[in-house]
Amino acid sequence: MFQLEWPQVLLLIPLPLLIYYAMPARAVRRQAALRVPALDDFRLGTSARAEIRPRRWRQLLSLLAWLLLVLAASRPQWLGEAVEIPVSGRDLMLAVDLSDSMRTADFLIEGEQVNRLQATKRVASKFIERRRGDRLGLILFGTQAYLQAPLTFDSKTVNRLLRESAIGLAGERTAIGDAIGLAIKRLDLESDNSRVLILMTDGANTAGEVTPIKAAQLAASRGLKIYTIGIGADAQVETTWFGLRRSNPSAQLDEKTLRAIARISGGTYFRARDSEELEKIYGLLDELEPMPRDLQNLRAVNALFAWPLAMALGLVVILLAPQLWRRR
C-alpha cells in the first residue's frame, strides 16, 4: 500500500504561483516610439519563434521539478503486508566483556581451541536468534562501556554487531559497574516494560567510575533484573620445556561480586567453564525469561522519497546545462 507520511506538504504546490502574482512586476522603462508606415518588416521570423518554444519547455520542466520536490518532501512510503510477530513487552540488554583477558583460549568448540570471546559470540548469537518479541540491545565494555546497539526488534542487526566486536575495542581493563550503569540509563526509558540485563565477563572490576555493587543497588531500585555469567575454565594444562604445567586461567574472575550483583537485582549467577555449560546457561535463560504468546501486526516500511528527489535533481541539471554550456 502506498501512502504519504506528511501529506500536508502538498499544500506547497501552488507556492510558485502565489509568489508570481504576489510579487510586484518589474517596472518597464518608457522609450521613444518609432513611427513606421507598415508592419511587414517587423513580423517575427522563424528564429524568434524558436526562442519562445524553449521558454515554454523550461517552464514545464521547472513546474515538474517543483512537483517532484514537493512529492519527495511529503515522504512517500510503501507499506508491506501485515506480519504477526510475538511481542513480550520486555527489554533485554546484553553486556559483553571485551577486555584483554578474553583472549584466553580455554574453550573447545567442535574440536577447535577458541578464545573466550569467540565462544561467547557463538553461543550468544544462537540465543539472540531465538529471541522473538523482545527488544534487544548490545553493550560492549572494557575500560569504558559503549552502547553498540540500542533497543530494537531487529535481532539480525544486533547479532551482526555482536559478531563484528573485537577484543580491545573498548579498552584492556574491565568496567563492570559502568556497563550496568549504561544499561540502567538505556533501559529506564520505557518504564512499563520488563527490563533484563545479561552481563558476561571473565574478570573483576578494574576500571570505571561506578562500583558494581552500587550499580546493582541502583538497578534493583529501577526494576532491572541482572543475570551474570562468569566465563573461563577452572584448570588448563599447558606443555612447556619442563613438562606439563597446570594453571587456573580464571584466577582473576570475581565470582563473589558477580553473585552479589545477581542477588541484589533479583537475577541469577551462572558459571561457564566450557562451551557446553555456556549453551546450557542460555537454555536456562530461555526458561527463566520465556517467550511471549501475544501477537502484534507490524508492517515493513520502505521509503520512496529518493526516486522523486533524484528525478527533480535530474530536471534541474537539464535546465541549467544550456546556460552553463554558453558560459563555458
What's the pLDDT tens digit per position in 170-222?
Answer: 888 999 999 999 999 888 655 566 788 999 998 889 888 899 999 999 999 98
Instruction: Provide the mean pLDDT of the chain.
Output: 81
Residue 286 CA to residue 227 CA, distance in Å, equals 12
Confirm if 250 and 233 have CB atoms less than 8 A apart.
Answer: yes
- Cell 573447545 maps to which residue? 108
Q: Is the pLDDT of residue 293 over 70?
A: no
Beta strands in 24-173 (DSSP E): 76-79, 83-86, 90-97, 107-109, 112-114, 135-141, 145-152
Q: Specify the length of the chain in residues.
A: 328
Q: What pLDDT, on a 0 to 100 scale, did the predictor assign at position 262?
A: 94
Query: Domains in the chain, start-ordered, CATH in brackets?
Result: 2-22+46-80+300-327 (no CATH), 87-296 (3.40.50.410)
Q: Which residue has the higher pLDDT, 237 or 176?
A: 176
The stretch 228-251 carries a mean pLDDT of 66
* Closest CA relative to residue 127, chosen from 10, 236, 280: 280
**Range of 3-7, 82-86, 142-146 with top mean pLDDT:** 142-146
Model confidence at 97, in pLDDT bands (50, 70, 90)? very high
Residue 235 CA to residue 249 CA, distance in Å, equals 7
Q: Which residue has the higher pLDDT, 191 or 228?
A: 228
Task: Note the pLDDT tens digit of each residue in 107-159.
Answer: 887 778 888 899 889 888 888 888 877 789 999 999 999 999 998 888 899 99
Q: What pLDDT, on a 0 to 100 scale, did the predictor assign at position 321?
A: 81
Model confidence at 43, in pLDDT bands (50, 70, 90)? low
The stretch 83-99 carries a mean pLDDT of 77
To which H or E segment does residue 125 belong? helix 116-130
Q: What pLDDT, on a 0 to 100 scale, did the predictor assign at position 38?
A: 57
Q: Is the pLDDT of residue 7 over 50?
A: yes
Q: What pLDDT, on a 0 to 100 scale, did the predictor assign at position 49?
A: 47
Report the chain's terminal Cα–Cα distance, integer Å.
47
Q: What pLDDT, on a 0 to 100 scale, did the predictor assign at position 182?
A: 94
Q: Which residue has the higher pLDDT, 282 or 239?
A: 282
Q: Is the pLDDT of residue 48 over 70?
A: no
Q: Is the pLDDT of residue 265 over 70?
A: yes
Residue 215, number of CB atoms within 10 A of its CB:
26
Residue 4 CA to residue 75 CA, distance in Å, equals 6
Q: What pLDDT, on a 0 to 100 scale, did the predictor assign at position 273?
A: 82
The stretch 251-256 carries a mean pLDDT of 85
* Closest CA relative to residue 97, chosen from 166, 196, 186: 166
